[in-house]
Structure 1
Amino acid sequence: MQPSESNVIIQKPLSELIADQLKQKIWKEDIQLGERLLETELAEHYDVSRSTIREALRILESEELVVSQARKGTYVADFTDRDANEMIELRTLLESHAFEQAMPRLESEHIAKLEEIVGQMKARADEQDWNGLFELDMRFHSYVVGLCGNSRIIKIYDSLQVQIRTFLMHLDRYYSSPQAFYDEHVQLLEALVSGDVHTVNRRVREHIEYVETKLLGQQDKLEEVYSNE
């Protein structure tokens, strides 16, 4: 008999559970980027040993969510414009290819799953719940990438999940409303269902590169590129 999801969570080491809670605090901005994390304070807050906290911080460091500086301490990594641009470039390369490869593999149950995720996004948009939207955004994209048929692309994408989620945490400042973010996923799903490779590629690139146009003022440049395709 397979263990239930709740049992799997319970069986997680305490350090992993704390690392997960710290991630959520960072993504919800209860802990700020660049903020120092003190072992003593965290150990007292979670009522655990400092060694458990050190292990939790090592997990976050391996995921590049925190950085340790000799004789200075451990800090939440600061996500710079350069980091954002590198993430945009990498996501565009991986996802545009993975979405194209996933299209011929889409079956009715896959479409139904994506429709379910988009439906949940509508509810989160109505509630102005950006954090919930970002979690569902990751679920949507990961689900499609998982259908691409390339195990190495899937593995690389999975390894980037923490960094992608950190990248998403400030996207609300670039969108006019949660509805606009939701609408982009409706368009992505419509493009996937259409079977038009060109449309899928364009929608994926527009969705991911939208933030770059805001960061670098490249909207006119992108529109020219897309109009010439």
Structure 2
Amino acid sequence: MQQNQNNSIIQKPLSELIADQLKWKIWHESIQFGERLLETDLAESFDVSRSTIREALKILESEELVVSQARKGTYVADFTDQDADEMIELRALIEAHAFSQSIRHLDHKDVKKLEDIVAEMKVKAEEEDWNALFDLDMQFHSYVVGLCGNSRIIKIYDSLQVQIRTFLMHLDKYYSSPQSFYAEHKQLLEALVSKNAHTVNRRVKEHIAYVETKLLGQQSDKELKEV
């Protein structure tokens, strides 16, 4: 299995590998939102041609992680409150349904996989490693959605992975601690293991609505201060 994963990495075009590296830098805030990306500097940094960098940036542009402005250059896209609100709504629509459907296909092997992810989340929560927690969140949610049995929902969700991961990097300001983020996933796993569709649906919506409530609360506070 590991050999197959290594082969797939080796076979990736250089432009895709660089695009992945740039995503990692953005998600770990080595590159900031709104920052200009210069082809010359990136080509020198990665020791590749400018055409390869151009291809990598086109990949990121197609994933809406960067924007290209005529005669101005390429910039990391800003992530607004509206973007967050739309992502919350979309995740609620897809995940509430997919999680409820997934319990019909959940077996002991799947439970073990999810338990391992949640156990790792506990470790990263104790280390206060938000970036690792967000990566594990992606693994958890993607794995469960992948069990729903609807190939089109899975395909749509897969196409949103970059935007969801970009959304996640903003969540640390909404949670009181990494432990509370971990605790929500432990509760989600318990709901899935119970195989009670109503409980699963409620837990998923509570998990997503928690952030929405915090986001709207912050917006309201901001509006009051502006009055």
Taking structure 1 as the reference length, the TM-score comes to 0.92
1:137 aligned residue: 137
Counterpart in the other structure of 1:111:
111
Number of the residue aligned with 1:120: 120
For 2:45 and 2:143, the matched residues in 1 are separated by: 35
Q: How far apart, in 1, do the equivalents of 2:124 and 2:193 lie?
A: 23
Q: Deviations over 1:196-224 (max 9, x none)?
A: 21211111011112111111129xxxxxx
**1:148-167 matches, cutoff 5 A:** 148-167=148-167
Classify 1:47/1:149 alpha carbon distance in 2 versus 1 (closer, same or farther; 3 Å).
same
Q: How does 1:48-87 map to 2 (within 5 A)?
A: 48-87=48-87
In structure 1, stretches of 5+ residues that fail to align are 219-229
Superposed CA offset, 1:17-50 (max 9, x none): 1100000000001111111101011011111110
Matched, 1:174 2:192: no
Separation (CA, whole Å) in 2 of partners of 1:131 and 1:10: 25
The answer for the alignment partner of 1:207 in structure 2 is 207
What SS class does the counterpart of residue 68 from structure 1 fall into? strand
Query: How far apart are 1:102 and its partner, in Å?
Result: 0.4
RMSD: 1.4
Partner of 1:175, secondary structure, is coil
Instruction: Give the TM-score of the pair, scaled to structure 2.
Output: 0.93
Letter of the aligned partner of 1:127 in structure 2?
E
Match status 1:188 vs 2:188: yes
- In the alignment, the residues of structure 2 paired with residue 61 and residue 178 of structure 1 have an alpha-carbon distance, to the nearest angstrom, of 31
Task: Give, in whole Å, the separation in 1 of the partners of 2:89 and 2:19.
Answer: 28
Q: Deviations 1:148-168 (Å, cap 9, x if unpaired)?
A: 000000000000000000000
Cα distance in 1 for residues equivalent to 2:216 and 2:169: 19
Greater mean deviation of Cα atoms: 72-81 or 3-12: 3-12
Match of 2:17 in 1: 17
User: Which secondary structure state, in structure 1, belongs to the residue aligned with residue 67 of structure 2?
Assistant: strand
Q: 1:113 to 1:2 in 2, by over 3 A?
A: closer
Higher mean displacement: 8-17 or 157-166: 8-17
Moved over 6 A (4+): none
Match for 1:207: what amino acid? H
**Could you tell me which residue of structure 2 aligns to residue 29 of structure 1?**
29
Q: How many residues align?
A: 218
- Give the letter for the 1:209 counterpart: A
Q: How far, CA to CA, are the matches of 2:69 and 2:209 in structure 1?
A: 33
Alpha-carbon distance, 1:2 to partner: 9.2
1:16 Cα deviation after fit: 0.7
- Structure 2 stretches lacking a partner, 5+ long: 219-227
Q: Distance in 2 between matches of 1:10 and 1:206?
A: 40
TM-aligned CA deviation for residue 4 of structure 1: 2.7
**TM-superposition CA deviations, 1:85-135 (whole Å, max 9, x none):** 000000000000000000111111111111011011111111111111000
Q: 1:2 to 1:187 in 2, by over 3 A?
A: closer
How far apart, in 1, do the equivalents of 2:185 and 2:56 lie?
34
1:34-49 alignment to 2 at 5 Å? 34-49=34-49
The amino acid that maps onto 1:62 is: S
Instruction: Quote the offset at 1:5 in angstroms.
Output: 1.5
Q: CA deviation at 1:7?
A: 2.5
One-letter code aligned to 2:20: D
Q: State the partner residue of 2:222.
A: none
